Amino acid sequence: MTVPAPVAAAARSMADRALSWLHAHRALGALPPGTTAEIADPDGVYKPLGETTLAASVILRDGVAGPGQLVAAQSLMDFTWEQLRRGDMLYERQLRHTLMTDPLEMYAPFARCGYRHTDLDRLLAHRARLRSVDGVELLPNRRLAVANAARVAGLDQDVDWAALTRATWLGATPEPWAINWITAYALTHTVFHLTDWGARPRGLPAALAEYVRTWLPVWIDIWREVEQWDLVTELMIVGASLDEPYCAPGDWEAIAALQHEDGFVPCDGDPVSDDPQQRFKDHQHTVVVTAVAGSVALARAAREP
């Protein structure tokens, strides 16, 4: 199964324009002056900063963007790395809060692209050997997130990927009509972490890949109908990450048509704020997943014979 030419064309436009928007608006995602490792609201700016880093790292990893876009992705990585004080903030946060997983998860995209922090590397290696860390209670898809971050960061680990997968909603191959909004996001992230954002398509067991490929068209149609564009785009990343990609031209062309000329993509069908800061806060994640979706689909197309 190949990535159709119309999908590749839409993916190129989506990825290039989304990256341009993220780069042009990067200052809106900066941490407030004086931010320390004791972040009061991690979801406010800190987490979105990590999401921007992820998008840039996937684009650099895949290497299918044009030279100018690769320069922009590298610039974004440099910006977010400086925001985190070149890894010092992540090190301090992990040192003070042993059981927190976000420093590792934030660090992994940087490590993927060669940004290393020696003290954090040593701390994470030590932390990985602690029974208390291994026993932290997380949602199943979140355990996969941490395991994949450790894999990307190059940490030695003994992970039973099959057991982690079975513990997820997707791992039970449940009744497909029972899915809801939050479970759909959990499903997408199960696939993201098992496949490392499309780089390891066979990381998703064959039986689960067949289940997803059967029902993905239905799920995408449902959330297209109610204009949940953020979730639709995440589901499109899932399709592009399968061993046999599912990439329906109509889905990709719909998001490409929805995307503004400057690269902005609305998260849903609700009115968009005119305030630049609010606009960034509400829709930055959707632009991130649009950039990732485009890069993953292009990479899959490039790897096909």
Answer for the pair 217, 177: CB distance below 8 angstroms, yes or no.
no
Largest CA distance in the chain: 51
Q: What is the CATH number of domain 5-303?
A: 1.50.10
Note the pLDDT of residue 158.
87
Note the pLDDT of residue 304.
64
Give Cα separations from 65 to 13, 47, 196 (angstroms). 10, 25, 19
- What one-character-per-residue DSSP string does 230-297 give? HHHHHHHHHHHHSSS----HHHHHHHHHHS-TTS---SSSSPPPSSHHHHHHHHHHHHHHHHHHHHHH
Q: Please state the rounded mean pLDDT for residues 16-35.
A: 96
Q: What's the whole-number average pLDDT of the chain?
A: 96
Note the pLDDT of residue 249.
97
Quickly state the pLDDT bin for 1 (edges 50, 70, 90): low
Sign (positive/negative) of CA torsion 155, 203, 141, 29? Answer: positive
Distance of CA 245 to the CA centre of its chain: 18
Two tokens, residue 52: 């921007």
pLDDT tens across 32-84, in order? 999 999 987 888 899 999 999 999 999 999 999 999 999 999 999 999 999 99
Note the pLDDT of residue 161.
97
Answer for the pair 68, 127: CB distance below 8 angstroms, yes or no.
no
Q: Is 85 left (phi over 0), alpha (psi -120 to 50) or beta?
A: left
pTM of the predicted structure, to 2 decimals: 0.96
- In a 3-state reduction of DSSP, which class is residue 117? coil
Note the pLDDT of residue 95.
97
The domain limits of the chain are 5-303
Two tokens, residue 230: 């953020």
Give Cα separations from 110 to 37, 105, 195, 200, 237 (angstroms). 18, 10, 18, 19, 21
Give Cα separations from 259 to 56, 173, 264, 274, 297 (angstroms). 19, 33, 6, 16, 17
Give Cα separations from 183 to 151, 188, 210 (angstroms). 25, 9, 19
| Higher per-residue confidence, 266 vs 41 | 266
Please check the confidence at residue 263 and state whether its pLDDT lies above 80: yes
Quickly state the pLDDT bin for 19 (edges 50, 70, 90): very high
Please check the confidence at residue 305 and state whether its pLDDT lies above 60: no
Quickly state the pLDDT bin for 196 (edges 50, 70, 90): very high
Whose tokens are 């992820």? That residue is 54
pLDDT tens across 223-256, in order? 999 999 999 999 999 999 999 999 999 999 999 9
H-only helix segments in the chain:
5-24, 46-62, 67-83, 88-96, 102-112, 118-127, 131-134, 140-153, 161-166, 181-195, 206-225, 229-241, 249-258, 276-303
Please check the confidence at residue 270 and state whether its pLDDT lies above 70: yes
pLDDT tens across 104-160, in order? 999 999 999 999 999 999 999 999 999 999 889 999 999 999 999 999 999 978 899
Percent of the chain with pLDDT over 70: 99
